[in-house]
Chains A and B, each alone.
Chain A
Amino acid sequence: MAIGGDPKTGFVALNRFAFGARGGAYAGDLARAASDPRGFLKAELLQPGIAELRAPALPDTKTAIQSLFAEQERQRIEREKSPPAPKVAAAPPTSGGDTMMAQGETAPAPAMTAPAQGPKMKAAEPPVPQRLLRADAMARFQRAVHAPVGFVERLVHFWSNHFCVSAAKGGIVRATAGCFEREAIRPHVLGRFADMLKAVESHPAMLFYLDNAQSLGPNSKAGQNRKRGLNENLAREILELHTLGVDGGYTQADVTALARIITGWTFTGRQRRIGEPGTFVFVPAAHEPGDHTVLGKVYEAGGIEQGEAVLADLARHPATARHLAWKLARHFVADDPPKPLTEHLAKVFANTGGDLKAVAVALIDSDEAWSAPLSKMRTPEQFLLAALRAIGRMPEGPGLILGPLNALGMPLWQPPGPNGWPDTAAAWTSPEGIKVRLDVSAAIAGRMRDLVNPSELLETIAGEAASRETRQAVARAESRQQGLALLLMSPEFQRR
Chain B
Amino acid sequence: MSKTTREPACRLCEIPSPSRRALLVAGGTLFAWAYLPKFARAASARDPRLVVVILRGALDGLSAVGPVGDPSYEGLHGQIALSLTGEHPAIPLDAFFALHPAMPVLARLYKAGQAAIVHATATAYRERSHFDGQDVLEGGYPGPGAIQSGWLNRAIGILPKGDRVGTRGGLGVGSSTPLIMRGPAPVLGWAPQIIATASADLAARVMDLYAQRDPVLQVALAKGLETERIAAREGMSGSAARPRGGMDTAVGMRLAAEGAAKLIAADDGPRLAALAFDGWDTHANEGGATGRLAQLLGGLDGAIEAFEKGLGAHWKDTAVVVVTEFGRTARINGTIGTDHGTGTVAFLVGGAVKGGRIIADWPGLKDEQLHERRDLKPTTDLRAVLKGVLADQLGLSASLLASTVFPDSAAVRPLSGLIA
Contact = CB atoms under 8 A, between A and B. Distances in A.
Interface of A: 99-102, 104-109, 111-112, 114-117, 403-404, 407, 425, 429-436, 438-443, 446-450, 453-454, 467, 469-470, 473, 476-483, 485-486, 489-491, 494-495
B246 A434 contact: no
Contacts of B279: 478
A439 to B, nearest CB: 5
Contacts of A482: 199, 201-202, 205, 278
Contacts of A100: 175, 195
Contacts of B196: 101, 439, 442-443, 446
A487 to B, nearest CB: 10
Contacts of B201: 478, 482
Contacts of B262: 115
Interface of B: 56-58, 130-131, 134, 148, 172, 174-177, 179, 182, 187-199, 201-203, 205-206, 208-210, 212-214, 216-217, 220-228, 239-240, 242, 246-247, 255, 258-259, 262-263, 266, 268-269, 278-281
Query: Which are the 3 A-B pairs with shortest beta-carbon distances?
Result: A435-B224, A104-B189, A478-B281
A473 B209 contact: yes
A108 B206 CA distance: 33
Contacts of B194: 99, 101
A434 B205 contact: no
A446 B196 CA distance: 10
A438 B203 contact: yes
5 contacts: A108-B190, A438-B198, A439-B198, A478-B130, A494-B217
Nearest to B282: A478
B224 A117 contact: no
B210 A449 contact: no
Given A115-B262, A438-B198, A467 B172 contact: no
A449 B222 CA distance: 30
A483 B278 CA distance: 13
B175 A443 contact: yes
A438 B217 CA distance: 11
B56 A434 contact: no
A101 B191 contact: yes
A470 B192 contact: no
A375 to B, nearest CB: 9
B195 A447 contact: no
B197 A473 contact: no
Contacts of B263: 112, 115
Contacts of B131: 453-454, 479-480, 483
Given A477-B130, A485-B198, A486-B205, A107 B189 contact: yes
Contacts of A106: 172, 177, 187-189
Contacts of A439: 195-198, 242
Contacts of A431: 220-224, 226-227
Given A433-B220, A478-B130, A478-B279, A104 B190 contact: yes
B338 to A, nearest CB: 13
Given A112-B263, A438-B203, 4 more contacts: A104-B190, A105-B176, A480-B131, A490-B209
A462 B217 CA distance: 19
A434 B209 contact: no
B202 A449 contact: no
Contacts of B225: 435
Contact of B220 (A117, A434, A442, A443): A434
B213 A430 contact: no
A441 B179 CA distance: 20
Most B CB within 10 A of own CB, among A105, A114, A403, A435: A435
A106 B189 CA distance: 5
B71 to A, nearest CB: 31
Contacts of A480: 130-131, 134
B195 A449 contact: no
A479 B54 CA distance: 12
B205 A449 contact: no
Nearest to A404: B195
Nearest to A443: B195
Contacts of B197: 439
B175 to A, nearest CB: 4
A116 B175 contact: no
A469 B213 CA distance: 7
Contacts of A483: 131
Contacts of A112: 188, 190, 263, 266, 268-269
B267 to A, nearest CB: 11
A104 B191 contact: yes
Given A106-B177, A435-B227, A407 B239 contact: yes
Contacts of A446: 174-176, 196, 247
A429 B190 CA distance: 33
Contact of A449 (B179, B203, B221, B240): B179
B209 A470 contact: yes
Nearest to A106: B189
Contacts of B177: 104-106, 449
A105 B189 contact: yes
A109 B190 CA distance: 10
Contacts of A403: 195
Nearest to B223: A431
Contacts of B210: 491
Nearest to A99: B195
Contacts of A454: 131
Contacts of B199: 442, 482
Contacts of A447: 175-176
Nearest to B178: A449
B202 A491 contact: no
B192 A101 contact: yes
Nearest to A494: B217
A104 B175 CA distance: 5
A63 B174 CA distance: 41
B192 A435 contact: no
Contacts of B228: 435
A143 B320 CA distance: 46
A447 B195 CA distance: 11
Nearest to B266: A112
Contacts of A476: 205
Nearest to A492: B213
Given A104-B175, A404-B195, A478-B279, A435 B221 contact: yes
A398 B215 CA distance: 34
